[in-house]
């Protein structure tokens, strides 16, 4: 359920190496490097990922294993001697965790204080594959952070009836900065059925932990950049005005759009009913427009409230203008539907007009959501900053992401006054979660980590990461299956696609 590694073999008196199994079932070699001054206690642990045929072959010599590894993960010095066997096993487990995802033991004990503490929440499915890759990149640019693993997602729901455990909330409350992979959500019936038997029928209700997290910490500014990398075969192209075919018949406009989506309100506020209770029904009946529905029996009617508060509207619009100012863009587009959804879209637009007065050099344009989706297929390059309510913003950001490479490239930040959590917009892609080696594109996650760097003011490091990604994409030598338009699956690698790890390796190579 979490990142804890399970030991399958150990013999730490005679063998300075042991094979362990991580949560994905990968065989790892934990190699202990001894230091004379520490007697027979390891001074450094080194971690390698082994191919199963090597790990399972009893004839392979221990000495040759590191040279046969698929990947060298990294090493961690151990600053203290642990002689108690149980404690040492715990330490080694945490060393593996740390090398794969998290903090160094020395840092946990306060021996070295990192500048930042980041709560890492890989979550479910491919979240566990991509999040560790982003940490490798953060490390490569010298981001001075310690990482604390926190659980979130489906396993937490099944075991505890709560997909966002209290410890995770406490850690985020304390450290205020999070990196999140993805979670799996399932419909209510499936959620109930998978709850552990002791908890079934006890009134536990599944809530999406990411929606809960956004609401709990008021992560109301959801920022979703959609910028194309030159050379990406997935980029949007359009026929030229003269309609010509062939090499010169198409152009590839440079898309650099960031969608500011209100993250806590709107239709996702969760205030909804099927068969509304009597008092709600009475309130609805008091609205003249509800007359058309007045005779519909309760169980036959479902109602969702679209809630917009002026304060939240001001915050999202202001963030959009601030961003436009920082990037030197000449306009901000408020995308709503005020001609029909008069009250809520109306308030969004009204607030946008008020806020715009504080930014005299930046124009405010207004579009309707339906027309905007048409325009993004015609002239997407004309929109640099779009601000919208929760559902429309969700739709817009997915639609724009489709023009610049799709889910493998779509990063996001959920930013509140106090806490901020960065995540790829994709989900847990369960069908690829068990593939070994993993094949999904880590770029969306790595770009999310770069957004985290922007957020804490480490712009230079963030830019280096984006430039490294741009270089890899431009060269086109290393491409994950999605970038090659392959169907994902176990064959993707043999067909020539890069694995998740190889993509990160290519990015790391550019950062050297």
Phi-psi region of 486 (alpha: psi -120 to 50; beta: other; left: phi over 0): beta
DSSP summary character for residue 51: P
Which run of H or E residues covers position 391?
A: helix 390-401
In order, the DSSP letters of 111-127 are: SS--SEEEEEEEESTTH
* Nearest approach, Cβ of residue 468 and Mg ion (Å): 27
Contact status: 183 vs ligand NAI (CB under 6 A): yes
Residue 406 corresponds to which tokens in the numbers above? 């799709």
Give the nearer residue to ligand NAI in terms of CB position, either 335 or 401: 401
* Residue closest to Mg ion, measured at CB: 394
Give the nearer residue to ligand NAI in terms of CB position, either 78 or 439: 439
151 binds, among Mg ion, ligand NAI, none (CB under 5 to 8 A by kind): none
- Spatial contact of 415 and 448, defined as CB atoms under 8 Å apart: no
Measure the CA–CA gap between 152 and 159, rounded to whole angstroms. Answer: 11
482 binds, among Mg ion, ligand NAI, none (CB under 5 to 8 A by kind): ligand NAI
Binding residues with Mg ion: total (CB under 5 A): 1
Phi, psi of 120 (to 5 degrees): -100, 125
Q: Out of 97, 133, 220, 394, which residue is the one contacting Mg ion (CB under 5 A)?
A: 394
Contact status: 435 vs ligand NAI (CB under 6 A): no
Pairing status of strand 331-336 against strand 385-388: parallel
Residues 6+ apart with CB under 8 A from 374: none
Give the nearer residue to Mg ion in terms of CB position, either 351 or 410: 410
Measure the CA–CA gap between 40 and 43, rounded to whole angstroms. Answer: 9
Contact status: 482 vs Mg ion (CB under 5 A): no
Contact status: 178 vs ligand NAI (CB under 6 A): no
Report the site for ligand NAI in 197-216 (rule: CB under 6 A): 210
Measure the CA–CA gap between 415 and 408, rounded to whole angstroms. Answer: 21
* Nearest approach, Cβ of residue 425 and Mg ion (Å): 6
Contact status: 185 vs ligand NAI (CB under 6 A): yes
Alpha-helix runs per DSSP H in 203-330: 209-216, 278-285, 310-327
Contact status: 92 vs ligand NAI (CB under 6 A): no
183 binds, among Mg ion, ligand NAI, none (CB under 5 to 8 A by kind): ligand NAI
Phi, psi of 178 (to 5 degrees): -135, 150
Report the site for ligand NAI in 371-430 (rule: CB under 6 A): 407-408, 423, 426-430
Piece of the chain touching Mg ion by CB under 5 A; list 49-57, 65-73, 89-97, 387-395: 387-395
Give the nearer residue to ligand NAI in terms of CB position, either 209 or 338: 209
Give the nearer residue to Mg ion in terms of CB position, either 140 or 407: 407
Closest CA to 120 of 109, 128, 111, 110: 128
* Nearest approach, Cβ of residue 401 and Mg ion (Å): 9
- Spatial contact of 149 and 102, defined as CB atoms under 8 Å apart: yes
Q: Which stretches of the chain bind Mg ion, using CB under 5 A?
A: 394
Q: Which stretches of the chain bind ligand NAI, using CB under 6 A?
A: 182-185, 210, 407-408, 423, 426-431, 440-441, 444, 482, 488
């Amino acid at each position: 359920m979490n990142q804890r590694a399970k030991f399958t073999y150990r013999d730490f008196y005679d063998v300075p190496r042991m094979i362990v199994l991580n949560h994905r079932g990968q065989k790892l070699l934990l190699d202990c490097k001894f230091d004379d001054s520490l007697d027979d206690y390891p001074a450094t642990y080194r971690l390698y990922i082994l191919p199963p045929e090597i790990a399972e072959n009893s004839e392979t010599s221990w000495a040759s294993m590191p040279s046969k590894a698929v990947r060298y993960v990294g090493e961690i010095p151990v600053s203290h001697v642990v002689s108690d066997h149980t404690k040492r096993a715990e330490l080694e487990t945490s060393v593996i965790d740390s090398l794969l995802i998290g903090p160094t033991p020395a840092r946990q004990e306060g021996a070295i204080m990192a500048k930042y503490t980041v709560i890492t929440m890989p979550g479910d499915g491919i979240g566990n594959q991509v999040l560790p890759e982003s940490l490798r990149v953060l490390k490569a640019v010298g981001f001075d952070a310690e990482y604390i693993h926190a659980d979130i997602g489906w396993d937490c729901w099944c075991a505890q009836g709560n997909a966002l455990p209290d410890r995770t909330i406490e850690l985020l409350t304390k450290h205020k900065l999070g990196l999140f992979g993805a979670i799996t959500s399932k419909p209510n019936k499936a959620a109930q059925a998978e709850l552990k038997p002791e908890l079934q029928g006890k009134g536990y209700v599944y809530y999406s932990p990411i929606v809960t997290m956004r609401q709990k910490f008021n992560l109301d500014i959801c920022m979703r950049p959609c910028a194309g990398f030159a050379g990406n075969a997935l980029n949007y192209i359009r026929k030229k005005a003269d309609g010509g075919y062939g090499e010169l018949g198409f152009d590839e406009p440079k898309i650099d759009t960031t969608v500011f989506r209100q993250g806590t309100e709107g239709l996702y506020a969760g205030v909804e009913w099927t068969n509304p209770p009597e008092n709600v029904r009475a309130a609805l009946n008091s609205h003249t427009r509800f007359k058309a529905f007045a005779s519909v029996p309760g169980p036959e009617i479902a109602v969702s409230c679209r809630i917009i508060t002026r304060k939240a509207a001001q915050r999202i619009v202001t963030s959009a203008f601030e961003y436009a100012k920082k990037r030197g863009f000449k306009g901000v587009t408020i995308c709503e539907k005020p001609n029909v959804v008069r009250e809520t879209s109306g308030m969004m637009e009204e607030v946008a007009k008020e806020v715009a007065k504080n930014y005299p050099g930046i124009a405010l344009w207004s579009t309707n959501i339906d027309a905007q989706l048409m325009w993004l297929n015609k002239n997407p390059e004309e929109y640099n900053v779009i601000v919208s309510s929760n559902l429309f913003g969700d739709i817009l950001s997915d639609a724009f992401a489709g023009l610049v490479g799709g889910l493998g490239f779509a990063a996001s930040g959920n930013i509140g006054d106090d806490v901020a959590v960065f995540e790829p917009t994709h989900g847990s892609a369960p069908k690829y979660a068990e593939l070994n080696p993993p094949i999904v594109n880590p770029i969306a996650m790595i770009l999310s980590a770069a957004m985290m760097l922007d957020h804490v003011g480490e712009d230079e490091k963030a830019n280096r990461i984006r430039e490294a990604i741009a270089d890899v994409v431009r060269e086109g030598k290393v491409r994950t299956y999605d970038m090659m338009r392959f169907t994902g699956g176990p064959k993707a690698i043999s067909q020539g696609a890069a694995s998740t790890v190889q993509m990160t390796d290519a990015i790391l190579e550019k950062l050297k």
